A = this chain, B = another copy of it.
Amino acid sequence: MKTPELLEKLLLGETRAVARAITKVEDGSSDAGVIMKTIFPKTGNAVVIGITGSPGAGKSSLVDKLALHYRDQGDRVGIVCVDPSSPFSGGAILGDRIRMQTLGLDKNVFIRSMATRGNLGGLSRATVDAVAILDAAGFDKVIVETVGVGQDEVEIVKTADVSVVVLVPGMGDDIQAIKAGIMEIGDVFVINKADRDGVLRTEKELEALLSLAHRPDLWNPPIVKTVATENKGIEDLSKAIESFDEFQKRDESSLERRKAIAKWRLLELVREKLLIDALAKTGTAEKIDEFALKVAKKDFDPYSAVEEILK
């Protein structure tokens, strides 16, 4: 498929074209820039929902049930999974493949896992691009789900219109640790597996933490209780998401937020572009290899090596 044909089909919402375009931005293919420039004016219609929380919180089930809920309302839903797996070797998730085989059979649900490709980074940038592609292709809801809870994942989730943080009862002492990382980004909080012991305690702890949080706006993040595996609380969650989305559209600080996101995205793109340009110069990749061996043997320190490489 040539780029103009791909773009035409993408904007008509054809799944195959969407998948191919995402692969192109993920690989940093040469026509990725053209694709992104062309689709940009068509973006901004989807509600983008970022979902994060620690492994074990049941995020995948929650995302699946939320997606099916939206589909039943007549929406087209895109799911983008951000996967920190295999930073060195690449790789895919078994569970994710299984999900794709079930959910992915539904033509109104598109599911895609974004993994790191090689050492050049760009996962954050590629994920944000994939969301824009789904948006331009006419998906009504785009859900970004993170597998990990790291710096990159937090930043990606912050680029969503609505950020959802998923907890489970009985996290005990570690709620403090979680607080630091992800508490402040949540527009909506979910206590999943809410049929377990300790729900009330977790809710109280969460309320206490939220009362200490400083938000730039006047939003009071709601706490929704769900049992995703039994499809309980999913409608409440979708209502909470909708409320925040509407609040934000009215809110004057919204442009500031979008500007901060745009700035972060530009910096990501600048960083990636500079590295790609540097590595494209004759000999740079070889020099990095050569100096890596010297540093490993302790014949050279990394800082001096970088000076030599960029000379």
Tell me the minimal C-beta distance from A276 to chain B in angstroms: 10
**CB-nearest residue of chain B relative to A171?**
B56
CB of A70 within 8 Å of the partner chain = no
Residue of B41, B264, B309 near A266 (CB, 8 A) is: B309
Chain A interface mostly: helix
- The quantity of this chain's copies bound in the complex is 2
Tell me the minimal C-beta distance from A120 to chain B in angstroms: 8
Residue of B93, B258, B270, B296 near A275 (CB, 8 A) is: B270
Asked if A116 and B265 sit within 8 Å, CB to CB, the answer is no
CB of A40 within 8 Å of the partner chain = yes
Asked if A174 and B296 sit within 8 Å, CB to CB, the answer is no
Assembled-state Cα–Cα distance A43/B240 (Å): 52
Asked if B93 and A180 sit within 8 Å, CB to CB, the answer is yes
Tell me the minimal C-beta distance from A118 to chain B in angstroms: 10
25 CB contacts below 8 A, A to B, read A43-B298, A55-B171, A55-B177, A57-B174, A58-B173, A60-B174, A61-B173, A86-B184, A87-B158, A88-B260, A93-B179, A95-B177, A96-B180, A123-B151, A147-B180, A149-B149, A150-B154, A259-B296, A260-B292, A266-B306, A267-B275, A269-B303, A269-B305, A270-B275, A274-B275
